[in-house]
């Protein structure tokens, strides 16, 4: 269907509004969504980007159509350049999953800005129980891959999160940082309080890789060692 047939003689604001509605409608004809994605990509300003981002909030069958539409929306957002930054960050703050907005962000800005935005998002989260901590897990797992001097101080509190997977990735993000040694005490404290064997193993493996000892906490740590680990006389862990 031609764009003229979809949108008629309307202002750009009306076109963006109508196209955004079609992009967001999973029950619309695929050809209509496709044309709307391309029209918003052509316009390319912030409101058009907001319309394109709606395509990442749902899935359609068949999977190849879903992927093609999301790839087209992705390229449209990236092509908008600087105009896309604010809408993408807004979307990331309210999204259930940050996979697509994070992928877009890494194309739009330098790595240090990506870290800045991830830490801003993380700062709005707490360590209490939540039904779906997926977004928090995604932020922390992404920070594991991004060494930056700002990360450790932002993630250390999540060693005490109510969710086991969050705690696991918080430990991983700490060990990935150059200043991780400054957080030895927090990691040991987390180890001694931790019920999850895989997290205690994650912390021990981090200490082993770094060659750290547990200082005066040898007795406490020894009492919590999982099978296959030991401490030497200096309190340095290793695998037995």
Question: Per-residue confidence of the chain (240 residues) as pLDDT tens digits?
Answer: 445 445 455 789 999 999 999 999 999 999 999 999 999 999 999 999 999 999 999 999 999 999 999 999 999 999 999 999 999 999 999 998 999 999 999 999 999 999 999 999 999 999 999 889 999 999 999 999 999 999 999 999 999 999 999 999 999 999 999 999 999 999 999 999 999 999 999 999 999 999 999 999 999 999 999 999 999 999 999 998
How far apart are the C-alpha atoms of 36 and 46, rounded to whole Å?
15
pLDDT at 182 (0 to 100): 97
Please tell me whether residues 157 and 201 are part of one structural domain: yes
**Token pair listed for 71:** 């790839």
Please tell me whether residues 83 and 11 are part of one structural domain: yes
Residue 173 domain boundaries: 128-240
Please tell me whether residues 134 and 84 are part of one structural domain: no
Q: Hey, how many other C-beta atoms are within 10 angstroms of the C-beta on 148?
A: 18
Query: Is 83 part of a structural domain of the chain?
Result: yes
As beta bridge partners, residue 229 has 239
pTM of the model: 0.90
In this predicted model, what pLDDT tens digit does every residue of 59-111 receive, in sequence order? 999 999 999 999 999 999 999 999 999 999 999 999 989 999 999 999 999 99
Please tell me whether residues 149 and 204 are part of one structural domain: yes
Residues making up the chain, counted from first to last: 240
Please tell me whether residues 142 and 90 are part of one structural domain: no
Please tell me whether residues 167 and 83 are part of one structural domain: no
Asked whether the beta carbons of 111 and 119 are under 8 A apart, the reply is no
Total of domains in the chain: 2
Query: Is 117 part of a structural domain of the chain?
Result: no
Asked whether the beta carbons of 170 and 159 are under 8 A apart, the reply is yes
Name, in order, each residue with C-beta under 8 angstroms of 48's C-beta and a sequence gap of 6 or more.
16, 19, 20, 40, 41, 76, 80
Please tell me whether residues 76 and 184 are part of one structural domain: no
pLDDT at 4 (0 to 100): 46
Please tell me whether residues 70 and 154 are part of one structural domain: no
Tell me 226's DSSP state. Answer: P
Query: Is 122 part of a structural domain of the chain?
Result: no
Please tell me whether residues 146 and 186 are part of one structural domain: yes
pLDDT at 10 (0 to 100): 72
Short-list 101, 98, 121, 97, CA closest to 109: 101
Query: Is 69 part of a structural domain of the chain?
Result: yes
Query: Is 118 part of a structural domain of the chain?
Result: no
pLDDT at 8 (0 to 100): 53
How far apart are the C-alpha atoms of 141 and 8, rounded to whole Å?
46
How far apart are the C-alpha atoms of 69 and 60, rounded to whole Å?
10
How far apart are the C-alpha atoms of 103 and 81, rounded to whole Å?
14
Please tell me whether residues 133 and 190 are part of one structural domain: yes
CA distances from 174 to 93, 98, 127, 147 (A): 23, 21, 16, 9
């Amino acid at each position: 269907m031609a764009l003229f047939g979809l949108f008629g003689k309307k202002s750009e604001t009306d076109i963006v509004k109508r196209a955004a509605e079609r992009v967001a409608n999973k029950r619309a004809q695929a050809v209509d969504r496709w044309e709307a994605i391309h029209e918003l990509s052509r316009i390319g300003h912030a409101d058009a980007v907001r319309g394109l981002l709606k395509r990442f909030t749902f899935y359609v069958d068949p999977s190849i159509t879903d992927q093609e539409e999301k790839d087209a929306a992705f390229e449209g957002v990236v092509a908008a350049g600087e105009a896309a930054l604010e809408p993408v960050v807004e979307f990331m703050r309210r999204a259930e999953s940050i996979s697509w907005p994070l992928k877009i962000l890494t194309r739009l800005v330098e790595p240090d800005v990506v870290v800045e935005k991830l830490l801003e998002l993380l700062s709005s989260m707490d360590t209490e129980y939540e039904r779906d901590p997926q977004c928090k897990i995604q932020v922390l797992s992404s920070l594991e891959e991004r060494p930056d001097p700002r990360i450790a101080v932002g993630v250390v509190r999540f060693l005490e999160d109510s969710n086991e997977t969050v705690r696991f990735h918080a430990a991983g993000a700490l060990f990935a940082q150059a200043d991780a040694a400054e957080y030895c005490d927090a990691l040991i404290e987390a180890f001694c309080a931790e019920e999850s064997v895989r997290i205690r193993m994650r912390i021990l493996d981090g200490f082993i890789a770094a060659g750290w000892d547990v200082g005066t906490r040898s007795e406490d740590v020894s009492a919590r060692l999982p099978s296959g680990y030991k401490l030497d006389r200096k309190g340095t862990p290793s695998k037995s």
